[in-house]
Amino acid sequence: AQSVTQPDIHITVSEGASLELRCNYSYGATPYLFWYVQSPGQGLQLLLKYFSGDTLVQGIKGFEAEFKRSQSSFNLRKPSVHWSDAAEYFCAVDPSGAGSYQLTFGKGTKLSVIP
């Protein structure tokens, strides 16, 4: 079955440390890929997106993600985490690759930051 997997339910890092959140998908073709962030009790905010072209994409708040076709992955990274980055992060996929925007979401990774 087609799916989006975020293997880490909860990650804790120290402020200033680097961060990598993992996302794997199981679709035949290259889908459209997104990372969203959600603060408690709030909606989702788009961090970055990948449709085609350069496999390393830059987003807001200093985040970047790398698409690796061979590994069916789209991992989110940040070189130095700030306390305000504590939130829940969702990887999402539009499997049609045609911009129909029927997104499938992973179950999320909750990030805690130690001051």
Partner 1 sequence: DGGITQSPKYLFRKEGQNVTLSCEQNLNHDAMYWYRQDPGQGLRLIYYSQIVNDFQKGDIAEGYSVSREKKESFPLTVTSAQKNPTAFYLCASSVPGRDQPQHFGDGTRLSIL
Tell me the C-alpha distance between 1 and 3, whole Å. Answer: 6
Q: How far is the CB of 39 from partner 1 (least distance, A)?
A: 10
106 binds partner 1 (CB under 8 A): yes
26 binds partner 1 (CB under 8 A): no
53 binds partner 1 (CB under 8 A): no
Binding site for partner 1 (CB under 8 A): 9, 34, 36, 41-46, 49, 51, 90, 92, 99-103, 105-108
